[in-house]
Amino acid sequence: MGLQEFWFLIIAVLWIGYFTLEGFDFGVGMALPILGRGPDGERRKRVLLNTIGPVWDGNEVWLLTAGGATFAAFPEWYATLFSGFYLALFLILVALIIRALGFEYRGKRDSDAWRRGWDWCIAIGSYVPALLWGVAFTNIVRGVPIDQHHEYTGNLFTLLNPIALLGGLMTLTVFFLHGLNFISLKTTGQIRDDARAMATKVWVVAAVITVAFMLIINVQQGSIWSWLSFLIAVVACVGGFLAHLADREGWAFTGTFLAIAFVVASLFFALFPDVMPSSTNPDYSLTIYNASSSHLTLQIMTVVAVIFTPIVLLYQGFTYWMFRKRISVDNIPPAQDERDLATV
């Protein structure tokens, strides 16, 4: 394996980490207006937010690292992607910003209207990226119009094609399901029961959309490795659903975690060795070879990654371990006693 192949693999792993971890963050945000209803709604919402409160910002580091690694290892890919997908990525960035503001500011005032406004910011800031990430990755894998200068020649509506929108629906429903499984794993009482009941319905919808989308992708341009990853994802999904029916929340969450991981892996296997195929002319496609940095740059990056990656993984693993216990509305004090979102 050369350094170009190695860094393509690393970037794939970073995106897998982002989608599997930030995916349940998005799912919890999407579930907030639904599971947070009722006479005890405010305390239920604070339970939901506390399930991801210690980890949501750490999960976003995977996105920053994936973007930075792409910029350093494959600058041509980064330049074409971020210039061509500028508006779509801008919408994702705005959504992530208002979502982060919602986490930070909803508890700063003792006002129902104030909190409701920020709750919708969190929900919208979860729905929009969950949809648009699927749209973006579908277009990356299937190819977009790129000219001989490696410049994107389409527009936003070029990206919003039927197959890409199906990919967006896949990530939207799968992240929602992943979040419901995380809520079931992290809570007790009625909110856990409600999340489990909703997950049963969403599971079927998410599975049908995912299988339909992945069959289209793999039939069109799949390889033996992309097909194998897809089949593993199907097995993980079925196993997770059976665990869900058996009230084994930990294994159910593991099932959706692995399903997301292997779906993303399947997309990267289908993409390789391209990084942005050209639908205009295959000769204009960006590959890991014509889009990469110099050999020396990749060598330096490899040394840095080998040193610091284990440290980051250990730290994030420690965070999840420290905040592993379940919570319920009984753990949430009245809203007027809590003005800092650190305890939401």
338 pLDDT higher than 80: no
Q: What is the number of alpha carbons within 13 Å of residue 154 lying toward its C-beta?
A: 22
3-state secondary structure of 168: helix
Distance CA(138)–CA(210), nearest Å, equals 12
State the Cα–Cα distance between residues 22 and 59, nearest whole angstrom.
5
Q: What is the pLDDT of residue 335?
A: 59
* Average pLDDT of the chain, as a whole number: 91
Mean pLDDT of 50-79: 91
- What is the C-alpha separation between 35 and 44, in angstroms, rounded? 7
User: What band does 110 get if pLDDT is binned at 50, 70 and 90?
Assistant: confident
Residues 103 and 56: beta-carbon distance below 8 Å: yes
Nearest residue to 139 via CA among 79, 84, 96: 84
- pLDDT (average), residues 100-106: 92
CA 72 to chain centre: 22
Q: Do the domain assignments include residue 342? A: no
Mean local confidence (pLDDT), 208-217: 96
Q: How far is Cα 232 from Cα 238, in angstroms, rounded to an integer?
A: 10
User: Which of 89-93, 106-110, 190-194, 212-216 shows the lowest mean pLDDT across its residues?
Assistant: 106-110
pLDDT of residue 341 exceeding 90, the answer is no
- The mean pLDDT of 295-322, rounded to a whole number, is 89
SS3 labels along 21-80: HHHHHHHHHHHHHHHCCCCCHHHHHHHHHHHHCCCHHHHCHHHHHHHHHHHHHCHHHHHH
Residue 344 lies in a domain: no
Instruction: Classify residue 270: in a domain, yes or no.
Output: yes
Task: Report how far residue 246's alpha carbon sits from residue 196's, in angstroms, rounded to the nearest whole number.
Answer: 11
> How many domains are there within the chain?
1
In a domain, 87, yes or no: yes
Q: Is 333 a residue whose pLDDT tops 90?
A: no
Domain that holds residue 288: 3-337
- Per-residue pLDDT at 340: 46
Q: Which of 39-43, 245-249, 250-254, 283-287 has the lowest mean pLDDT?
A: 39-43
DSSP E strand boundaries for the chain: 274-276, 286-287
Q: How far apart are CA 207 and CA 83, in angstroms?
A: 33
- pLDDT band for position 41 (cuts 50, 70, 90): confident
Q: Are 8 and 272 in contact (CB under 8 A)?
A: yes
Structure tokens at 301: 């990056």
Q: According to the model, what pLDDT value does residue 111 have?
A: 86
Reported as a pLDDT band with limits 50, 70 and 90, residue 342 is: very low
pLDDT of 8 higher than 90:
yes
DSSP designation for 279: S
Top mean pLDDT of 40-54, 191-205, 305-319 is at 191-205
Higher pLDDT, 204 or 342: 204
Task: Dump pLDDT digits (tens) for 16-35.
Answer: 999 999 999 999 999 999 99
Confidence of residue 271 (pLDDT cuts 50, 70, 90): very high
Q: Report the SS3 class of residue 200.
A: helix
Q: What are phi and psi of 274, to 5 degrees?
A: -70, 160
Q: Which residue has the higher pLDDT, 187 or 337?
A: 187
Q: Average pLDDT, stretch 46-75? A: 91
